[in-house]
């Protein structure tokens, strides 16, 4: 049994639209047996999925505790993943701005064989040409954080997908411990949660990219959200059930790129507005 899960909270309507499409895409592409869990402080936003999706309601104070003493990154994602890891089978924890795009049967088979996944590898820590990445490596090089030391060949992995067999659940404990050790040492990076997850999971030698099955559209949210809103309005107008919406989505996926980079004119306008 695979448990697919996501975290959706706050006041932004877009996060709930995105999580809704994620669930529909899982219904479209996940092979049985599976279950879907949404961790949220707004269970009413998932009433459409009654009887299909399990909702884990965030009690008052839990999200703040998950964020930790110095909330500068998405520590709560790792806590949420740990909280919903099933006793048996596997966990696939997904950012809300992720959508399944094809049959997840090969992913399920690989998890059953012990493979671990994150969305994709972004860059090697010691050889990225970008200034921000070089600054990060300067803070990590040669330093030890508890039992861990980063090497130049270690990578930053995108954590839009974190998938692992439940036999590896202690890896999440290790990632959280590393996160807190780094925070105590003064490391402040906006993607610390994916940095620590990538290191701990990669050291197993079994970490692989999951991007062949998912689109993580963090770099094109505006265009995706417009299309998601249009589709949800249409599905509700037609009074489709979630499973009927999944059939429609499988036949007509969203054909948008995961990232949309501004052109030269847009960059100039953005620079001018920032002056």
Average pLDDT over residues 5-31: 97
> Under a CB-based contact definition with an 8 Å cutoff, are residues 98 and 217 in contact?
yes
80-93: pLDDT as tens digits: 999 999 999 999 99
- Statement: residue 261 has pLDDT above 80: no
Average pLDDT, whole number, for the chain? Answer: 94
User: Which CATH architecture group holds 2-274?
Assistant: Alpha-Beta Complex (3.90)
Ordered strands of the 34-40 beta sheet: 54-57, 34-40, 2-8, 90-94, 155-165, 116-124, 207-209
- The per-residue pLDDT for 70 is 76
Residue 76 belongs to what H/E stretch? helix 75-84
Checking if the pLDDT of 265 tops 50, the result is no
**Tokens standing for 176?**
């959280």
Instruction: Indicate the pLDDT class of residue 53, thresholds 50, 70 and 90.
Output: very high
Query: What is the band of 260 on the pLDDT scale with cuts at 50, 70, 90?
Result: confident
Q: Quick one: what percent of the chain has pLDDT higher than 90?
A: 92
* Mean pLDDT confidence for 54-58: 98
Number of CB atoms found within 10 A of residue 67's CB? 15
pLDDT of residue 250: 97
CA–CA dist 181, 71 (Å, integer): 14
What is the pLDDT at residue 174?
A: 98
Region 142-170: what's the mean pLDDT?
A: 97
Angle of helix 170-184 relative to helix 192-202, nearest 10 degrees, comes to 130
pLDDT for residue 262: 53
Helix (H, G, I), strand (E, B) or coil at 186: coil
pLDDT confidence of residue 71: 84
Lowest mean per-residue pLDDT among 3-17, 60-74, 159-173: 60-74
The residue ranges of every structural domain in the chain are 2-274
């Amino acid at each position: 049994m695979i448990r697919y899960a996501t975290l959706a909270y706050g006041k932004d309507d877009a996060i709930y639209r995105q999580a809704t499409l994620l669930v529909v895409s899982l219904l479209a592409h996940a092979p049985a047996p599976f279950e879907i869990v949404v961790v949220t402080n707004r269970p009413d936003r998932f009433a459409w999925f009654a009887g299909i999706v399990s909702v884990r309601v965030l009690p008052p104070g839990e999200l703040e505790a998950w964020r930790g003493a110095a909330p500068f990154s998405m520590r709560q994602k790792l806590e949420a993943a740990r909280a919903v890891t099933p006793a048996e089978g596997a966990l696939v924890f997904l950012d809300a701005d992720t959508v399944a795009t094809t049959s997840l049967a090969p992913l399920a088979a690989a998890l059953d064989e012990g493979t671990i996944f994150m969305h994709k590898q972004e860059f090697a820590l010691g050889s990225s040409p970008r200034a921000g990445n070089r600054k990060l490596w300067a803070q990590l090089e040669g330093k030890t954080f508890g039992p861990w030391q980063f090497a130049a060949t270690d990578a930053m992995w995108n954590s839009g997908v974190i998938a692992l067999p439940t036999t590896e659940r202690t890896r999440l404990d290790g990632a959280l411990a590393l996160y807190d050790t780094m925070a105590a040492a003064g490391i402040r990076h906006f993607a610390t949660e994916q940095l620590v997850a990538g290191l701990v999971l990669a050291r197993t030698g079994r970490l692989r990219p999951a991007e062949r099955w998912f689109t993580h559209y963090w770099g094109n949210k505006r265009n995706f959200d417009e299309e998601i809103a249009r589709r949800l309005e249409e599905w509700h107008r037609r009074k489709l059930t979630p499973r009927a919406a999944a059939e429609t989505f499988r036949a007509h996926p969203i054909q948008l790129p995961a990232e949309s980079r501004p052109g030269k004119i847009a960059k100039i306008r953005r620079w001018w507005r920032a002056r």
